[in-house]
Structure formats: structure tokens, C-alpha cells
Amino acid sequence: MTDKINELLRRVEEFKPKAASDIEEFRIRILGKKGELNALMEEFKTVAPELKRELGQQLNRLKNEATARINALREEWRNAADEQAPADEDLTRPGSAEHLGSRHPISLVKNQIVEVFSRLGYTVAEGPEIEDDWHVFSALNFPPEHPARDMQDTFFIEKNPDILLRTHTSSIQVRTMERQKPPIRVICPGRVFRNEAISYRAHCIFHQIEGLYIDEGVSFADMKQSLLYFAKEVFGEQTRIRMRPSYFPFTEPSAEVDVSCNLCGGKGCAVCKGTGWLEIMGCGMVDPNVLKANDIDPEKYSGFAFGMGVERIAMLKYGVKDLRLYFENDVRFLHQFDEAL
Ligand code: PHE
């Protein structure tokens, strides 16, 4: 039996593969289940007990050496394959690009707006998308017959008209006033829902950012200066703003804010329809009725609120003419905005 073991050892040492596949074949022939080593192991069971010690050691050595040799050969052939590869490949071929994801333009603009206001001391507040009438309308001084409550604008839950999809993130402002006493300075980003026909300028789902600032002695001038700062940060240092009287149930006085057109610099072009101005948000001084409804003393505190559509800001900032592009998730479109890329 010793002869057979030595013979096998010699073959292991002398084995020279001609191809990588020879190694695996050799391994199966020697070390496989039905291989030669196992055959010797079977034979080993029948040898005289006084020979077992000596033969057992020899068999072990054979097994270890065969395993080590096969592993070494595998390694050798793998390295050889690596070295060979460049020879039959075109070294001048450019590497294939990794496809990185990019942030959605709506997220980019939202993050920028949040960042600008956080520099003014605002913190982010969030709230539920499914709301009740109180937080979306009643606490914000909407008269019972206000058209915004109409079925045409608001998605109600059929079984319970008190439950609805929020039409603006002002509901978060109400939730903040419930939890927190003045001074309050929050910025409220979120998805909102309105029952509108989808077109290049409107969608039934879009994103808003609203802000609320309540403290003692907050004035219209504070609001104007904060919004001017915001406009310059987002649209550029040369940007001017103007305010036009408007109406919202929850603010008094109320205004629409326009920025000077960042495309023509205010001279008038197709985007601003020749006016030189672009409407970007609504704002106003918080109506005393809203403060009262939320247990804040209007004699002591005053505040301002503002709200804007993120898609609209993003359209103006990037010169995108169709709002639907933001929802279609065509990566060729989405990929153009992330400055990090
Ligand atoms: N909530 C208003 C809207 O959705 C925007 C707004 C917010 C206006 C705060 C004034 C003050 O249109």
C-alpha cells in the first residue's frame, strides 16, 4: 500500500496542467468522492492494526499535499489568466461609465429653499397628507362657503367629508401652533393635492413650501425683507421683488409676490409675457382670527406666513416649460440638474 501512496504522491508532484480545466479534472480524479484517495482509504480499513499508524500518517500526508498542490496550481493559473488578458484586449478602449443616481430637481429646489430659511432661524415642520377639515380650512379662517372647500378643488374621502387630502401645507402651520407657543419660526415642505386638470402648468399632486413666523412685534417690513433675501438667494443677487394686494382667508393684509424675471432681467420676454415680473408665492400677515383659533393672543403676538409651489420655483429657476416633466421620471430629464454630478 505504501507503494501505491508514493506512486500517487509522485503523480501529484509531477502533474502539469495544460489548461485551467485540467486542474479540476485532476482534483476530481484524486480527491473526489470516487477518487483514488478515497479508494486507498477503503483499502486502509482492511489493513492489519499494527500497520495502521504508519499508513494513516502516509495517507494524511498524501491528502494534504494533493490539496496544497491543487490550490497552488489554481492560484498560478488565475494569475496567468489576469496577465494574459490585456494582451487580447484593446487597452485604448474607454472604461464603461458607472450610472450614478441623481437627486430629483424638486428635491434639489426644496432643499435649497429649506436651507435659505434655516439660515434665518426657521426649522422644518412636517405633517400628515391626509388631514381633517379643521387643520386645512377651519383653523385657517376659511368661511364655510369658501370655494376652496368645494368638491372641485379638494379630494374628500367619500365616506367622511371631514377627512380630505391636504390642499396646502398651511395645515402644518396649524399643527405647529397647537404644539408650540410663540416665538414660532417654521418652514413646512410637503406634497399637496388639488382636484385640477393636469396641464403644462398644473398637476393634481404638487409640492409646497410654506413658512410661518410668529413673535412679538413682527411686521410687514420683516416679511418683505425676509422674502427679498429668499428671492436673491434662489434667483440671484440682482433679483428684485414686488408685492401686489391679494386675498387669503388666513392672512390680512395679503399679497402676491413677484420676482423680476431672471431671463430678461425685467425688460420683458416670452417667459414673463412681456411684464418683466414672475409670480412666485402668496404671503400675508397672519389674520388675528387664525391666532385666536389657535390660542395665541393677537394683542400680544403678530406674524406672517407665506407659501409657494416648489414645481413653479423649479420651472422658473431651470427654465423648464412643462411641469409634467417633473412627474414623468424620465432619467434623461432628471439627470440634468444635480450639481453634484
Ligand atoms: N396656502 C396658500 C396656498 O396654498 C399659500 C399661502 C400661504 C398664502 C401663506 C399666504 C400665506 O395657495
Phi/psi-derived region of residue 320, left when phi > 0, alpha when psi is between -120 and 50, beta in every other case: beta
Of the candidates 177, 151, 323, the one whose C-alpha atom is nearest the C-alpha of residue 250 is 177
- The β-bridge relationship of strands 123-124 and 184-193 is parallel
Q: Is 312 in the pocket of ligand 1 (CB under 6 A)?
A: no
Q: Probe ligand 1: pick from 250, 304, 308, max atoms within 8 Å of CB? A: 250
Q: Is 168 in the pocket of ligand 1 (CB under 6 A)?
A: yes
Q: Is 26 in the pocket of ligand 1 (CB under 6 A)?
A: no
Greatest CA separation for the chain = 110
Total-model pTM = 0.71
Q: Is 223 in the pocket of ligand 1 (CB under 6 A)?
A: no
CATH class of 105-340: alpha beta
Contact partners, residue 283, CB within 8 Å, separation at least 6 = 223, 227, 243, 251, 254, 255, 256, 257, 304, 305, 306, 307
- The β-bridge relationship of strands 184-193 and 160-165 is unpaired
Cross-strand partners of 242: 258
Instruction: Kindly write down the DSSP assignment for every residue of 62-82, as one continuous string.
Output: HHHHHHHHHHHHHHHHHHHHH
Q: Which atom of ligand 1 is nearest to the CA of 170?
A: 1
* Smallest CA separation from ligand 1 atom 9, residue: 306
For residue 84, how far is its CA from the centre of ligand 1 (angstroms)?
68
* Smallest CA separation from ligand 1 atom 4, residue: 168
Q: Which atom of ligand 1 is nearest to the CA of 212?
A: 9
Q: Is 227 in the pocket of ligand 1 (CB under 6 A)?
A: no
For residue 136, how far is its CA from the centre of ligand 1 (angstroms)?
11
For residue 186, how far is its CA from the centre of ligand 1 (angstroms)?
14
Q: Is 210 in the pocket of ligand 1 (CB under 6 A)?
A: yes
Phi/psi-derived region of residue 104, left when phi > 0, alpha when psi is between -120 and 50, beta in every other case: beta
Tell me the backbone φ, ψ of residue 137, rounded to 5 degrees: -125, -60
* Domains of the chain, residue spans: 2-86, 105-340
Q: Is 307 in the pocket of ligand 1 (CB under 6 A)?
A: yes
* Smallest CA separation from ligand 1 atom 8, residue: 282
Q: Is 248 in the pocket of ligand 1 (CB under 6 A)?
A: yes
Of the candidates 319, 220, 327, 333, the one whose C-alpha atom is nearest the C-alpha of residue 272 is 319
Contact partners, residue 295, CB within 8 Å, separation at least 6 = 177
Predicted confidence pLDDT, tens digits, the chain (341 residues): 888 888 888 988 888 888 878 888 888 988 888 888 888 888 888 888 888 888 889 889 888 988 888 888 888 888 776 666 555 677 888 888 887 788 999 999 999 999 999 999 999 999 999 999 999 999 999 988 888 777 668 999 888 889 999 999 999 999 999 999 999 999 999 999 999 899 988 899 999 999 999 999 999 999 999 999 999 999 999 999 999 999 999 999 999 999 999 888 888 888 888 999 999 999 999 999 999 999 999 999 999 999 999 999 999 888 888 899 999 989 889 988 886 54
Q: Which atom of ligand 1 is nearest to the CA of 282?
A: 8
Q: Is 251 in the pocket of ligand 1 (CB under 6 A)?
A: yes
Q: Is 284 in the pocket of ligand 1 (CB under 6 A)?
A: yes
- The β-bridge relationship of strands 156-157 and 123-124 is unpaired
For residue 208, how far is its CA from the centre of ligand 1 (angstroms)?
9
